[in-house]
Amino acid sequence: MGSFAKLLFLFATVLTPILLRSAVEGLMLSAELIPWVNLDP
């Protein structure tokens, strides 16, 4: 159980920055592609 927890922690530590970066890149890309999403009149 301890080794499984370590593996899970390592997995989360590696994946979290990758997922955050891809999410931020996706948001920035969609903001560039769809300028009319901006709510300002």
Delimit the domains of the chain by residue range.
Answer: 2-33
For the entire predicted model, the pTM comes to: 0.54
Res 38: pLDDT: 60
Tell me, what DSSP letter sits at residue 35? G
Q: Residues 30, 22: contact at Cβ < 8 Å?
A: no
pLDDT in tens, 1-41: 689 999 999 999 999 999 999 999 998 888 877 766 566 65
Please tell me the predicted confidence (pLDDT) of residue 31.
80
